A and B are shown apart, each in its own frame.
Chain A
Amino acid sequence: MNQKVIGLSGDEAVAYAVKQCNVDVVAAYPITPQTIIVERIADYVNDGEVDLEYIPVESEHSAMSACIGAAAAGARAFTATAANGLALMHEVVYIASSLRLPIVMAIVNRALSGPICIHCDHSDTMAERDSSWIQLYVEDAQEAYDTVIQAFRIAEDPSVLLPVMVNLDGFIVSHTLQDVSVLPDEVVSEFVGKRQVASIDVAGKTVPMMLHPDNPLTFGPLDLFDYYFEHKRQQEEAIKAARDVIKRVNEEYYKISGRRYGDGMVDSYRMDDADIAVVGLGSTMGTVKEVVDEERSRGLKVGAIRIRSFRPFPVDQLLEELSRVKVVGVLDRSGAYGAPGAPVYNEIRSLLYDLDKRPAVLGYIYGIGGRDMPPELVKSVIRDLENALEKPPETKVEFIGVRE
């Protein structure tokens, strides 16, 4: 496969992928724990290792606005942020997706203030979960590298045309150096190609969907009750179409790299005969897989499902896998204060409602503000789920790892 293995942190792996992806414009503002991504890309530009326009902006709101302008002009645009930076960007995050611009953004997941905290949880991206961006959560630095490359293909697919967030856990992935296999530049370059601008049918002619003097188009005009609803309806269709594209790109990437992540939507681990499933996002699921191996060796039929694509939600895969188990434990690294449970739990419990025979679904909120999730805590969850095999509770959503 002609790949070399080098030591990269998650942030460095993202920057390395961006360098290889024929990106035209990067506009970004540094924020912990994303800073290394921005610094490395700036190094690449400064050292002449990549030919892209780097726009140092004065805020994240401007970063996304610049990416929107660049993408509307036909450029391949990338940015990265975290937590409060993403929150400041919120307004324009929605504009990027509603203008159907295939921007790729790495989010280094960090707890939203306040109180101010720089460590990992998923509250920042969960606040954007309904923005009609595709959200892919990765497990480690290798997957961060691989997923950034895939993200451009997914975003720019003519059936999708939506921006993609690649989410990696702050510090746990972003600042941990690990062995990362990287593809040769030309292989990645060929895989992602140059950005092909989609065509759009307007007023009886087909024109490139971009700002160009030869074919004047207006991006972002006033859109009231006469058309706004139709445009939002289209976004739902586009993000649904992304399911097949994510799966296809996962397979095509496997052909060039030898790596794939489940079917692209979910990464199932030892689920074939499982009675118990532990479901969650991100790096924690690696630890869960280790614990699953240990529990399996003592005879407990437990498996893990890592949701890789939270948006679009892997409806079919989860229905299929979870209809065969008796107990589901859902791990959430963010709260949904005042809701029945946390974001992932709420989705899964709602999804399973239509099944004739529903498994018990138990929710666990963990790791808020970067609180560690050691194997012992995962084991305590699995003990709890094992007990629920005998006697499932009515409902259960519990905070774990918090001091009582």
Chain B
Amino acid sequence: MKKGWREVPIGGICWVSSTEYKTGTWKTYAPRIDYEKCTNCGFCWFYCPDGAIRWNGEEKPKVDYDYCKGCGICAHECPAKAITMELEVK
């Protein structure tokens, strides 16, 4: 049973940081990086609207699947065509 209006925190405020919301569960297609083709250019890191590509500039980028919503922008922008979008199997 959910709480009544007297108990619910006011203002629609959520009691956790937004980092706790694993928006990665929303995706239908997931990006896969082919590290043979990846040139480590960092375009995917720049373009990702959710900051879901982890990259330190030295090692090749990794997708943070907890937050990746599967928009496909990284795959579209990758100059080396190293990223493909694959249907998620849950």
Contacts and interface: CB of A to CB of B under 8 A. Distances in A.
Q: Do A and B come from one complex?
A: yes
Given A218-B18, A234-B8, A209 B2 contact: no
A100 B10 contact: yes
28 contacts: A99-B11, A99-B12, A100-B10, A200-B11, A200-B13, A201-B9, A202-B14, A203-B15, A209-B13, A216-B16, A216-B17, A216-B18, A217-B13, A217-B14, A217-B15, A218-B14, A218-B16, A218-B18, A219-B11, A228-B12, A230-B3, A230-B8, A231-B8, A231-B11, A234-B5, A234-B8, A234-B10, A238-B10
8 nearest CB pairs, A to B: A202-B15, A216-B17, A100-B11, A230-B5, A218-B14, A233-B5, A203-B15, A223-B12
A203 B16 contact: yes
A101 B16 CA distance: 19
Interface of A: 98-101, 161, 200-203, 209, 216-221, 223, 226-231, 233-234, 237-238
A228 B14 CA distance: 13
B11 A98 contact: yes
A160 to B, nearest CB: 11
Given A101-B11, A201-B9, A218-B17, 4 more contacts: A98-B11, A99-B13, A200-B10, A217-B14
B76 to A, nearest CB: 27
Interface string B16-29: 11110000000000
A238 B3 CA distance: 18
A217 B17 CA distance: 5
What does DSSP make chain B's interface, helix, strand, loop or mixed? Answer: loop
Interface residues of B, number: 16
Contacts of A221: 12, 14, 18
A234 B11 CA distance: 9
B4 interface: yes
A223 B15 CA distance: 14
A373 B3 CA distance: 52
Interface in B13-52: 13-19
A229 B8 CA distance: 11
A209 B11 contact: yes
A197 to B, nearest CB: 12
Contacts of B4: 230
A202 B13 contact: yes
Contacts of A226: 2
Contacts of B18: 216, 218, 221
Contacts of A98: 11-12
A237 B14 CA distance: 20
Nearest to B14: A218
Contacts of A229: 5
Contacts of B12: 98-99, 219-221, 223, 227-228, 231
B69 to A, nearest CB: 14
A218 B17 CA distance: 6
Contacts of B13: 99, 200, 202, 209, 217-219
A194 B24 CA distance: 41
Nearest to B13: A217
A102 B38 CA distance: 51
B9 to A, nearest CB: 5
A231 B18 CA distance: 20
Nearest to A218: B14
B7 to A, nearest CB: 9
Contacts of B11: 98-101, 161, 200, 209, 219, 231
A166 B74 CA distance: 49
A160 B40 CA distance: 54
A256 to B, nearest CB: 30
A231 B7 CA distance: 10
Contacts of A201: 9
A200 B17 contact: no
Contacts of A233: 5
A221 B11 CA distance: 10
